[in-house]
Amino acid sequence: LLAAGGVVLGKTNMDEFAMGSSTENSAFGATRNPHDPTRVPGGSSGGSAAAVGAGIVRCALGSDTGGSVRQPASFCGVVGIKPTYGRVSRYGLVAFASSLDQVGMFGATVEEAALLLQTVAGQDPRDATSSNREVPDYLEEIDAGVEGLTVGVPAEYFTEALDPEVRKLCEEALDRLRKAGALIREVSLPHTQYAVPTYYILAPAEASSNLARYDGVRYGMRAPGTDSVAAVYEASRTQGFGGEIVRRIMLGTFALSAGYYEAYYGRAQKARALIARDFQRVWEGGADVLFTPTSPTPAFPLGERTQDPVSMYLSDIYTVTANLAGIPGISVPIGSVGRLP
Ligand code: GLN
């Protein structure tokens, strides 16, 4: 970005180690939603979404392991892109869950988000997982319209979990697409119900491995006043991680431990393959794109879910599938519920 003439204004707030859906797991304090300061901006890249939503910058970067660009983009009324796995180099990005992580873009408009992606996409010898496929011109067809485009609408994304007002906005958006010439077709992604449990086994498992290096020796804070290697590890890891990180490390370590590995990690890997195959079948069936809500609700009040991790995890129900399948996703504003995007 710097080489292309970009101007960096600053770093933005986020959930610690990108674990969270509200930016409330930050040692710097919570970020507020620019449309209603009593509400969260979403997360984990909530600071970037809020900065674009408030008009401080036109675009910003974030990371998306299970929705952390798309969900805050939707809460803050901006565009958020999670590119295909491997599209953008992760060199310099702190690893959370390496098989899911991807750098994402926020833009005030689709065009600005696309420009940002255009600038950062491509192979990087310093990231072995970056793709060597040619980077297409993302702006080439930006005015082409949707005439003849087949838009799949997965039935599993429109259940009781979806807020009725969000559902209404989705239906209105689908009507606009239909009027503009798109072919709207109901499709099925039958393993969707397993996506959140699958993600919340795999992501903590990978995180517990990635965070093992934060032992106060080379990485992370080092607790003072300890007198043995074991004491440095224990005190540094106890004092250095916030509560959600401790929960993930414990969940992940349990899921990977001898005797439980097959029952949890092994089964989650199989479920992941089934979720990816669901998407494959839909593309083979002729869908060009899918239309889904980004989040089941608009931005929720600050503090509402901090004591209830499961309700926080359920905010990710519509976004984790793309990461599990490795496919790209974009969140675009479609309207508001009151003043909330
Ligand atoms: N909310 C999800 C989590 O807490 C996704 C986070 C992300 O995409 N970085 O893991």
pLDDT along the chain (341 residues), means of 10: 96 98 97 98 98 98 98 98 98 97 98 98 97 97 96 97 97 98 98 97 98 94 93 95 97 95 96 98 98 98 96 95 98 97 98
Burial of 270 (0-12, 13-18, 19+ CB in 10 A): exposed
Euclidean distance between CA atoms 156 and 66, whole angstroms: 18
Question: b vs e for 176-186, b when ≥16 Cβ sit within 10 Å of the residue's Cβ?
Answer: ebeeeebbeee
Quick one: pLDDT at residue 143? 94
Nearest Cα residue to atom 5 of ligand 1: 66
Question: What is the four-CA torsion angle of 175, 180, 185, 189, rounded to 10 degrees?
Answer: -80
Secondary element (H or E) of residue 277? helix 267-284
Quick one: pLDDT at residue 242? 96
Which of 12, 17, 19, when mutated, tests ligand 1's pocket best, judged by the most ligand atoms within 8 Å of its CB?
A: 19
The single residue listed with the structure tokens 């990710």 is 316
Quick one: pLDDT at residue 286? 98
Which of 15, 74, 317, when mutated, tests ligand 1's pocket best, judged by the most ligand atoms within 8 Å of its CB?
A: 15
Quick one: pLDDT at residue 164? 97
Q: How far is CA 287 from CA 152, 214, 317, in A?
A: 6, 44, 21
pTM: 0.97
Q: Where are the alpha helices (DSSP H) in 37-78?
A: 46-53, 70-76
Query: Which residue ranges have their beta carbon within 6 Å of ligand 1?
Result: 18-21, 44, 63-68, 96, 203, 316
Quick one: pLDDT at residue 8? 96
Neighbours of 283 (CB within 10 A): 14
